[in-house]
Structure 1
Amino acid sequence: MNELYPIFLKVHQLETLLVGAGFVGLEKLTFLLKSSPHATVTVVSVEISDEIREIARNNPRIRLIQDAYHSRYLDQKHLVIAATNFPEVNKTVYRDAKERYLLVNVADTPEYCDFYLGGIVTKGNVKIAISTNGKSPTTAKRLRQLLEETIPEDINEMVENINKYRDTLKGDFEYKVEALNKLTEGLIKKD
């Protein structure tokens, strides 16, 4: 049973710590920035890949600290991602983050994750997150690819138009919901 509760975080308003700057750290950082290009991320690692250095060079919201992990790096952070090649370091990051009630994700270790970085489809204002409950990231990837091909490119224009229409509606919340439901019911026609 999938007990996950999907939410969309305004990561650009939060402070994120990424521990690890190798291949997995690069993957996590790239994914985060693809979905939220204005995310503020502090990257801590003894070694920092050239690719992550290049990303930081072109993004003033990425801060690099070349150092071993220490719990002080959790200060004033909201989210934590542990992505080192050392399971014991990742577990230490997890334990330290939990002591501070921070949300943490330990790469490739579902039992040490408060959240997963699932597949994401973005078309303008429309964003769809896909989760397999940490069981199969490759399935989430394939579903993302399917949805990217299926959802029309002009969906953002439709969303903008519906938003403008919503602003013209008079009446209480219930009336507005009913009117918008009627307007959008054609989106999922069943033949």
Structure 2
Amino acid sequence: MHHLNPLYPIFLKTNRLNFLIVGGGNVALEKLEFLYKSSPNTSVHMIATMVREETNSFIQDKDVHVDLKPYELKDLEGKNIVIACTDNPELNEQIQKDCRQKGILVNVADCPEWCDFYMGGIVTKGNLKIAISTNGKSPTLAKRIRQWLEAVLPEEVDELLDTLQNYRATLKDDFAHKVKEMNSITKSLLP
């Protein structure tokens, strides 16, 4: 039986949210790289008993506050999104339970069943951003599709977006007319 991916993609204004990453190893670095590649103005609080040298080098010029200490429930205060990526499965599960009780979105590395969201593949060309999800089934396929889209989308896509935005601003009728006109003008952009 064919099942549809039930995930709802959204684009967050990360500079308005408080992120917490619990863990300081390889996976924490991977999550930080992914987050900052897409959203360089993000502010992150990191709790870890140790932080790898590569992670310290990466965060050197970023808005990341590190507390070298064990995780405590009070670390969740004021947080909107938490990423649990310790090497301790029991601790990751506890963080997930704590987040659920407090209504905080949580991603637990390598445990799709405990995640409220996934950090899927993202393609960025100027102001065009495309999110790719395999519903947690194959991050590798999402990565390959991202690489393919990055290769085929032209760098000039921002110029097209600016032109379309300027044209849309000249339209004076109601919303339905604007949608019809924009659909008509963009119809020929793709085969």
TM above 0.5, yes or no, is yes
Superposed displacement of residue 54, structure 1: 2.0
| Structure 2 unaligned blocks of 5 or more | none
Indicate which of 112, 127, 130 corresponds to 2:129: 127
Superposed displacement of residue 52, structure 1: 1.9
For 2:14, the aligned partner's letter is V
Partner of 2:29: 26
Partner of 2:81: 79
Q: How many angstroms apart in 1 are the aligned matches of 2:59 and 2:182?
A: 43
Name the count of aligned residue pairs.
Answer: 188
Indicate which of 36, 58, 64 corresponds to 1:55: 58
Superposed displacement of residue 69, structure 1: 0.6
Deviations 1:45-102 (A, max 9, x none): 000111222233212x211010111111110000000011110110011000000001
Partner of 2:95: 93
Superposed displacement of residue 12, structure 1: 1.4
Partner of 1:145: 147
For 2:52, the aligned partner's letter is S
| Secondary structure of 1:104's aligned partner | strand
Q: How many angstroms apart in 2 are the aligned matches of 1:119 and 1:150?
A: 16
Q: Percent identity?
A: 48
Partner of 1:105: 107
Partner of 2:48: 45
For 1:8, the aligned partner's letter is F
Q: How many angstroms apart in 2 are the aligned matches of 1:73 and 1:163?
A: 43
TM-score normalised over the length of structure 2: 0.96
TM-score normalised over the length of structure 1: 0.96
Partner of 1:3: 6
Following superposition, which runs of at least 4 residues in structure 1 exceed 3 angstroms of deviation?
none
- Counting only pairs closer than 5 Å after superposition, residues 58-69 of structure 1 correspond to structure 2 as 58-59=61-62, 61-69=63-71
